[in-house]
């Protein structure tokens, strides 16, 4: 289990998992993301508005990647990000996600691959 994080099935079929991020036992939830089992897509990455800009988004994503590698043995992850979303793009690139395509001129498709 991710430290400070727990997961719950979204639709009861174990297909989507919401990961909720709590930096420590005594703090409130600060963020969430959704992982689609099988396709390895990540959706709905979000940090509570008042908690942004304090490093939580990066910690949450880094922990999520580690968790998914451990739990699902993933070696690839996919997501999309708006081309003008500076903080999100910065975080994803820092974690090793690479732009692999563009959709409708406003979304980057990004992929992360586990180092062999």
Ligand X SMILES: CC(C)(COP(=O)(O)OP(=O)(O)OC[C@H]1O[C@@H](n2cnc3c(N)ncnc32)[C@H](O)[C@@H]1OP(=O)(O)O)[C@@H](O)C(=O)NCCC(=O)NCCS
- Sign of torsion over alpha carbons 64, 69, 73, 76: positive
Which structure tokens are listed for 8?
A: 């719950």
Q: Is 109 in the site for ligand X (CB under 6 A)?
A: no
Among 2, 64, 77, 81, binds ligand X (CB under 6 A): 81
User: What is the rounded distance in angstroms from the CA atom of residue 71 to the CA atom of residue 65?
Assistant: 10
Among 56, 67, 97, 112, binds ligand X (CB under 6 A): 56
Q: Is 64 in the site for ligand X (CB under 6 A)?
A: no
Closest listed residue to residue 78, CA positions, set 116, 108, 55: 108
Task: Candidates 3-11, 17-25, 85-93, 96-104: pick the segment binding ligand X (CB under 6 A).
Answer: 85-93
Which structure tokens are listed for 13?
A: 């079929």
Minimum distance from residue 75 beta carbon to ligand X (Å): 21
Residues that bind ligand X (CB under 6 A): 45-47, 52-58, 81, 85-88, 90-91
């Amino acid at each position: 289990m991710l430290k400070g994080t727990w997961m719950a099935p979204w639709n009861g079929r174990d297909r989507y998992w919401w990961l909720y991020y709590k930096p420590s036992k005594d703090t409130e939830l600060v963020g969430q993301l959704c992982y689609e089992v099988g396709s390895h897509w990540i959706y709905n990455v979000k940090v509570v508005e008042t908690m942004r800009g304090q490093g939580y988004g990066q910690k949450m994503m880094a922990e999520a990647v580690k968790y998914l590698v451990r739990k699902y043995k993933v070696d690839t992850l996919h997501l999309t990000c708006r081309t003008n979303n500076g903080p999100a793009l910065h975080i994803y690139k820092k974690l090793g996600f690479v732009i692999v395509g563009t959709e409708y001129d406003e979304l980057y498709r990004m992929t992360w691959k586990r180092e062999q």
